[in-house]
Amino acid sequence: ETGVTQSPTHLIKTRGQQVTLRCSSQSGHNTVSWYQQALGQGPQFIFQYYREEENGRGNFPPRFSGLQFPNYSSELNVNALELDDSALYLCASSLWGLSTDTQYFGPGTRLTVL
């Protein structure tokens, strides 16, 4: 069984730039959720994708957007980067309809905005 993978591991950007983070879900899973974890805090829910559509969203502005592909992998895009966007971005996958509540996490992407 293949676990959740994320790329890249680390990323450095400057304020105002755009970034794309990638996630491959665990085999057999069809739902992907994204979380932002600032240093010293718990993860905050950004949004979830199911059947290639946004299926729920947390309190994040529209410059945070995403995609899900037919193979259930997903991208997180952040436009007009701000210094406060510096964080660990976690992707989690689950199986909608059977055990949707249980989410399995990838290793994360560390984003630094200068």
Report the nearest approach of another protein to the CB of residue 47 (Å): 9
Burial 61-74, CB ≥16 within 10 A → b, else e: eeebbbbbeeebbb
Closer CB to another protein, residue 14 or residue 88?
Answer: 88
Least distance (Å) from another protein to the CB of residue 15? Answer: 24
> Which stretches of the chain bind another protein, using CB under 8 A?
33, 35, 41-45, 48, 55-56, 58, 88, 90, 92, 96, 100-108, 110
Closer residue to another protein in complex, CB, 20/45: 45
Closer of 9 and 80 to another protein (Cβ): 9
Residue 102 CB, nearest approach to another protein (Å): 6
**Please, which residues bridge with residue 110 across strands?**
10, 88
Distance CA 114, CA 103 (A): 31
Minimum CB separation of residue 49 from another protein in Å reads 11
CA 98 vs CA 40, 42, 46, 70, 79: distances in Å:
33, 26, 22, 19, 34
Q: Please provide the distance, in angstroms rounded to a whole number, between the alpha carbons at the two ends of the chain.
A: 38
CB-nearer residue toward another protein: 23 or 80: 23
Identify whether the C-beta of residue 106 lies closer than 8 Å to the C-beta of residue 4.
yes
